[in-house]
A and B are shown apart, each in its own frame.
Chain A
């Protein structure tokens, strides 16, 4: 079973993603911010990270930067889920595989998740 790490400070969105991905057969890990996600990444190696951009403690850009510093996490694909324009995200962070503009539909998310995990 493939594992997806959700990094999201908005609990309702995090809950919804957990249920959606669980129903689609994925093992789900969840973190409320980038700092919690890095704690999880010390002990787990998910197949995909779905992360918000604006979060407390460590934001999405900080998470990706920290992941790229370590060989164990460098190659884990990351999907950036945010209300920010992609141009804004692109100016601040590199190294994410895909961008999803919030609010998005279930189908959009699942298409990206399946495509990345099929690679």
Chain B
């Protein structure tokens, strides 16, 4: 029976997480994927991670690229360590042996080389060739069975790399090995996305479903699906703590003093309504030494700094206590971006966070059905980490419909993630455009839900002390006439 102490890390943090803590010593695992999926890189990366721990790794190739080319390619990746070859990492070719002496000859090479080199990890690259060489399914099963015996007796963990096989839905070797990891690539529009899926892992829980991975100069990075990773938050949500200031006194007053420490506040509004300004004031609204972070998809740090200076906000003066992270929505991966954000929050002990453009997450994936559970898991984690979060979201409806302050705003997707929802509106009255604000929701707090007119002054957002100004604008708007309300904005609901 395997125990946790028999496990070791693959050297790839995200993959270890999906595997429930790594792989078992003496186990046999198949890594399957189409050409170009990254099997060879993954195999090498696992080997070099072990070599870095002073263990011995052996890479046996059958019909694969030449060792010189493979080493040449691996040399460009960060995990490659020239000094590890040949003592801690060695490459041997065994195709000729397989050709001449069949599966028995190959088994002999494996047995001898594992023993001679004291290998604790073996990668056999080209299992498909063994498949083709085997005269029957039974012969292949016997080969895998003998490998299992060798792996167990020599305590050598084996990874068998193979191309995806369409010929058989359930190849015989799949039933015998201890684990099966599949690497896949798919096109979404013109964008290629890579997914990793663990189909089987004997003796352990594992995180099912597909998870994104990326191949970069550092090698392979795997990003567990956030909603699976944070199915329950990583720490217990104590859900206590004082009320904290929003950073705008008028909003604090409307919310009965501020927002809860462990809370998420969504500020909705059309372009130009003041969301970023509200976010900057929230960011700078805490104690001077409180770590705060801006995570934005839109404006870069320089633009934000200039904007904060124009508003006389102490962004620069706060120095390292405020960090600005910018993540353009180009080729980013949803779970990678979220992981990056959470890692930074934990590393810096962030207590106040602004996510500028929470709808930006939904633009990072074509799987819109994920967004609801993704945001829910993410926000639960932020609460559990004791972070006061403000997230901005852009709505398409720029105007306001008298009598219907919620027109154009779909709350369905937001209720689950946000304790507080604040809507900003633009009201065009004759030649003037006015800004209005409503608190649409404030969970478990006494809230003044009457609309306020506000301006963005030199020092930022300033609300009128009562609702009369907003009342007058709405009255005049109804006299002027307004366009019919639009249909709900689907961006935040994942529809």
Which residues from chain A sit less than 8 Å from chain B, CB to CB? 8-14, 32, 53-57, 59, 83-85, 88, 92, 102-103
Known A84-B86, A85-B82, A88-B85: A9·B68 in contact at CB below 8 Å: no
CB–CB B71/A10 < 8 A: no
A-B contact pairs, 6 of them (CB 8 A): A10-B66, A11-B95, A32-B97, A53-B86, A57-B109, A83-B71
**Which one of B66, B83, B92, B95 contacts A102 once the chains associate, using CB atoms below 8 Å?**
B66
Known A11-B95, A103-B69, A103-B72: A84·B112 in contact at CB below 8 Å: no
Chain A residues near B97: list those with CB within 8 A: 32, 56
A55 to B92, CA, bound (A): 5
Mask, B66-91, CB within 8 Å of A = 1, is 11110110000000001101100011
Describe B's contact surface by its main secondary structure.
Answer: helix
Q: How far is the CB of B44 from chain A (nearest CB, A)?
A: 13
CB–CB A83/B68 < 8 A: yes
CB–CB A10/B61 < 8 A: yes
B94 proximal to A (CB < 8 A): yes
Q: How far is the CB of B130 from chain A (nearest CB, A)?
A: 15
> Which of A11, A32, A54 has most B Cβ within 10 Å?
A54
Chain B residues near A102: list those with CB within 8 A: 66-68
Mask, B49-71, CB within 8 Å of A = 1, is 00000000000110000111101
**Which one of A11, A13, A53 contacts B99 once the chains associate, using CB atoms below 8 Å?**
A11
CB–CB B71/A56 < 8 A: no
**Which one of A8, A32, A88 contacts B86 once the chains associate, using CB atoms below 8 Å?**
A88
B113 proximal to A (CB < 8 A): yes
The 8 closest A-B pairs by CB, nearest first: A102-B68, A9-B93, A10-B93, A32-B96, A103-B68, A11-B96, A83-B71, A83-B68
Chain A residues near B113: list those with CB within 8 A: 56-57
**Which one of B66, B72, B82, B85 contacts A12 once the chains associate, using CB atoms below 8 Å?**
B66
CB–CB A103/B96 < 8 A: no
Chain B interface size, as a band, is 20 to 34
Considering only CB atoms, which chain B residue lies closest to A92 in the complex? B86
Chain A residues near B92: list those with CB within 8 A: 9, 54-56
Chain B residues near A8: list those with CB within 8 A: 93
Considering only CB atoms, which chain A residue lies closest to B100 in the complex? A32
A55 to B91, CA, bound (A): 7
> Which of A8, A10, A56, A103 has most B Cβ within 10 Å?
A56
A32 to B101, CA, bound (A): 12
Mask, B107-132, CB within 8 Å of A = 1, is 00100110000000000000000000
Describe A's contact surface by its main secondary structure.
Answer: loop
CB–CB B94/A56 < 8 A: yes
Known A11-B95, A32-B97: A83·B72 in contact at CB below 8 Å: yes
Q: How far is the CB of A14 from chain B (nearest CB, A)?
A: 7
Considering only CB atoms, which chain A residue lies closest to B74 in the complex? A83
Known A9-B94, A10-B93, A11-B95: A54·B67 in contact at CB below 8 Å: yes
Chain B residues near A84: list those with CB within 8 A: 85-86
Chain A residues near B93: list those with CB within 8 A: 8-11, 55-56
A14 to B91, CA, bound (A): 16
Chain A residues near B68: list those with CB within 8 A: 83, 102-103
Chain B residues near A53: list those with CB within 8 A: 86
A53 to B67, CA, bound (A): 11
Q: How far is the CB of A51 from chain B (nearest CB, A)?
A: 13
Q: How far is the CB of B490 from chain A (nearest CB, A)?
A: 54
Q: How far is the CB of A73 from chain B (nearest CB, A)?
A: 22
Q: How far is the CB of A86 from chain B (nearest CB, A)?
A: 12
Chain B residues near A103: list those with CB within 8 A: 66, 68-69, 72
A53 to B384, CA, bound (A): 55
A55 to B109, CA, bound (A): 10
CB–CB B67/A10 < 8 A: yes
A55 to B67, CA, bound (A): 11
Considering only CB atoms, which chain B residue lies closest to A53 in the complex? B86
A54 to B58, CA, bound (A): 10
Chain B residues near A13: list those with CB within 8 A: 66
Chain A residues near B85: list those with CB within 8 A: 54, 83-84, 88
CB–CB A54/B95 < 8 A: no
Considering only CB atoms, which chain B residue lies closest to A31 in the complex? B96
Chain B residues near A14: list those with CB within 8 A: 96
Chain B residues near A12: list those with CB within 8 A: 66
Chain B residues near A59: list those with CB within 8 A: 86
> Which of B60, B92, B99, B113 has most A Cβ within 10 Å?
B92
Q: How far is the CB of A55 from chain B (nearest CB, A)?
A: 6
Q: How far is the CB of A85 from chain B (nearest CB, A)?
A: 6
Chain B residues near A9: list those with CB within 8 A: 92-94, 96
A9 to B90, CA, bound (A): 13
